[in-house]
Amino acid sequence: MRNLDSEVYEVFAQSDSLSPHVHVFNVQASSPEMALVLAEENFFRRAEFVSLWVVRRDHIHHLGFGDRDGFKKTAKPYRTTDDYKYLRDKWRYYREHPMNPDADRTSTQGGHEHDFTRD
Amino acid sequence: MSQQPLISDREAYFLERLDRGDRIEADDWMPEEYRRQLVRLISIHAVSEIMGALPEKEWVPRAPTLYRKLAITAKVQDEVGHGQLLIRVAEDLMRPWGKTRDDIMEDLFAGRLKYHNVFHMATPTWADAGIIGWLVDGAAVITQGMSLSCSYAPYARALQRIVEEEGFHIQHGESICLALAEGTPMQRAMLQDALTRWWPALLMFFGPPEKSELSTNQLRNLRYRIRSKTNEELRQRFFSKYVHRIRSLGLQIPDRTLAQDAVTKEWHYQQPDWDLFRQIVNNHGPRSQERLGLRRTTYEEGAWVRRMAAQASSV
């Protein structure tokens, strides 16, 4: 029986040297050299690339194909900047109203409400 | 009599590529000096990320709230991850020398490989953790932002990932510092003390000023497009970005001479003690030996894990 996977090459290309290699599509070929020729002819008649990779499909190892839902992460706001959006307004406020080093905080903060619950 | 050419044709072509804006990949031909400069720069960066996790790690068990504990844990984890990324970049460059990450760690322990001055310093209060996130990472992003244009593509690609995560670290630090600045007089005093403690180290972070002449190393790295700005240019950018923000919180910068020239926009400042800087980076800083010791012990105690992991790959 023919091992189809050993004749299928997944194609990855890099559009510029700072970008990652991105999966393009795949080709069926008898050798890596042939796969490169076919990939260039099939996918890059117009678009430019700086690097082209072909990888035999059976050389690619997959993670958890059976359970794609398992890839979804639980919310982790403490790992992102989502909870820090309020900072921009604060910096703007203090640029226009610099804090007085000697003033009593509790009295100067009156009317200016912020989320202090983190600490 | 044949005359030795100053540079080979291959090197001339290499420099031409750099001038065209080409970026170099790991398997491209490169002058040995280019490789050496990159290995030095990237190894220092890698071990600085790894050693840089230690000062803040001290605050993971003592963070004031559960939220802060999760956030600082995430940050420490990121820093170690950055170290892993950079070690891979360095390892690919060291391959022709037959060297690996083991050599990087051995060089670190033996004092042959330095790590950034800031990570030799003590972190006695929670405000120190805040200042590290806000200003030390802020300073680091100024340097790394420049290095995004580095001619060595694998390093530039690693930095894109790193700088993105540093954006989170800086805001994490800003959030801590703003909360303290808006807090009780005691919290404000703690923040002021931390700033006073860190200020000279922050200025040292960019390295000694060039004055009128650049070192051979710097000239070479500029020519190789490994870096595009001098130490002093980066420090000036740090002042422009942070001095007014620090002052807007009513904090005192411990330098009465600090001022910006109205015309040239250049910042004048009190030079930190550069002899002290050299002592610190040669592992004679306040916490150098403790942190190196911790890293060494962890490395030795983790030997069996590395051994098991290496065997697992051959099963």
Residue A31 forms part of a structural domain: yes
**Number of domains into which chain A is organized:** 1
**Residue A12 belongs to some domain of the structure:** yes
Give the pLDDT of residue B136.
97
**What Cα–Cα distance (Å) separates residue B312 from each residue in A61, A85, B100, B305, B308?**
16, 44, 19, 10, 6
Structure tokens at B19: 């001038």
What are the residues of chain B with a beta carbon less than 8 Å away from any beta carbon of chain A?
Answer: 22-23, 25, 64-65, 67-68, 70-71, 74, 153, 156-157, 160, 167-168, 171-172, 174-176, 178-185, 188, 192, 244-245, 247-252
Q: Do the domain assignments include residue A81?
A: no
Show residues of chain A in contact with B182, CB under 8 Å: 105, 109, 114, 116
Nearest by CB to A118, from B157, B179, B185: name it. Answer: B179
* pLDDT for residue B138: 97
Residue B2 has pLDDT above 60, yes or no: no
Higher-confidence position of A113 and B48? B48
Question: Given a cut of 90, is residue A108 above it in pLDDT?
Answer: no
Tokens of B105: 């760690």
pLDDT for A2 beyond 70: no
Give contacts of B25 with chain A, Cβ < 8 Å. Answer: 17, 51
pLDDT range class, residue A117, cuts 50, 70, 90: very low
Query: A12 with A21: CB under 8 angstroms?
Result: yes
Give me the residue label for tokens 């807090």: B183
The shortest C-alpha distance from A52 to chain B (Å) reads 14
Residue A54 scores a pLDDT above 90: yes
B176 vs A contacts (CB less than 8 Å):
119
What is the tens place of the pLDDT at every residue in A81-104? 989 999 999 999 999 999 987 655
CB atoms B67 and A78 under 8 Å:
yes
Residue in chain A nearest B63 by alpha carbon: A119
CA pair distance B121, B288, nearest whole angstrom: 8
| A23 domain-assigned | yes
Checking if the pLDDT of A105 tops 80, the result is no
Q: Could you tell me which of B247, B183, B176, B180 has the C-alpha nearest to residue A105?
A: B183
Q: Which residue in the set A78, A114, A119 is minimally distant from B70, CB to CB?
A: A78
Residue B209, judged by CB atoms within 10 A of its CB (0-12, 13-18, 19+), counts as middle
**Chain B interface includes A109 (CB < 8 A):** yes
Instruction: Read off the pLDDT of each residue in B116-140 and give the average, rounded to a whole number.
Output: 97
In contact, A27 and A38? CB cutoff 8 Å: yes
A27: in domain: yes
Distance CA B159, CA B86 (A): 9
d(CA B19, CA A58): 41
For chain B, where are the E strands, in sequence order?
259-260, 267-268
Predicted pLDDT of residue B5: 60
For residue B61, report the phi and psi dihedrals to the nearest 5 degrees: -75, -15
A113: chain B residues, CB-CB within 8 Å: none
A-to-B residue pairs, Cβ atoms closer than 8 angstroms: 79
Query: Residue B305: is it exposed, middle or buried by C-beta count within 10 angstroms (0-12/13-18/19+)?
Result: exposed
Q: What is the pLDDT of residue A67?
A: 62
Q: Is residue A48 part of a domain?
A: yes
Q: How far B129 CA lies from chain A's nearest CA (Å)? A: 14
All domains of chain B in start order, with CATH: 9-312 (1.20.1260.10)
From chain A residues 21-50, the ones with a CB under 8 A of any chain B CB are: none
Mean pLDDT (whole number) for B239-261 = 97
pLDDT at A114: 41
Domain with residue A31: its CATH number is 3.10.20.520
Compute CA distances B149 → A49, A69, A119, B226, whole Å: 20, 38, 39, 8
Residue A11 parent element (H or E) = strand A8-14
Q: Is residue A54 part of a domain?
A: yes
DSSP 8-state secondary structure symbol assigned to residue B314: T
| Residues B86, B92, B96, B99, CA torsion sign | positive
- Any B CB within 8 A of A93 CB: no
Instruction: Work out the mean pLDDT of chain B and round it to a whole number.
Output: 94
Which residues in A lie closer than 8 A to residue B180 (C-beta atoms)? 119
Of the candidate ranges A76-80, B38-42, B145-149, B176-180, the one whose mean pLDDT is the lowest: A76-80
pLDDT of residue B12: 94
pLDDT band, residue A71 (cuts 50/70/90): low
How confident is the prediction for chain A on average, in pLDDT?
82
pLDDT average, residue stretch A11-16: 96
Could you report the per-residue pLDDT of B79-96, keeping only the tens digit for each?
A: 999 999 999 999 999 999
The pairing of strands A51-56 and B259-260 is unpaired
Which one is predicted more confidently, A110 or A70? A70
In Å, how far are A30, B49, B197 from B81, measured between CA atoms? 39, 8, 28
Q: What is the pLDDT of residue A74?
A: 77
3-class secondary-structure state, position B248:
helix
Q: Which of A17, A90, A118 lies at the smallest CB-CB distance from B65? A: A118
pLDDT at B266 over 70: yes
> Each residue of B156-210: pLDDT tens digit?
999 999 999 999 999 999 999 999 999 999 999 999 999 999 999 999 999 999 8
Q: What pLDDT was estimated at residue B263?
A: 96
In this structure, is residue A24 part of a structural domain?
yes
pLDDT confidence of residue B215: 81
Token pair listed for B97: 């020398």
pLDDT at A107 over 60: no
Over the stretch B16-35, which tens digit does the pLDDT of each residue have?
Answer: 999 999 999 999 999 999 99
Q: Which domain holds residue A21?
A: 4-59
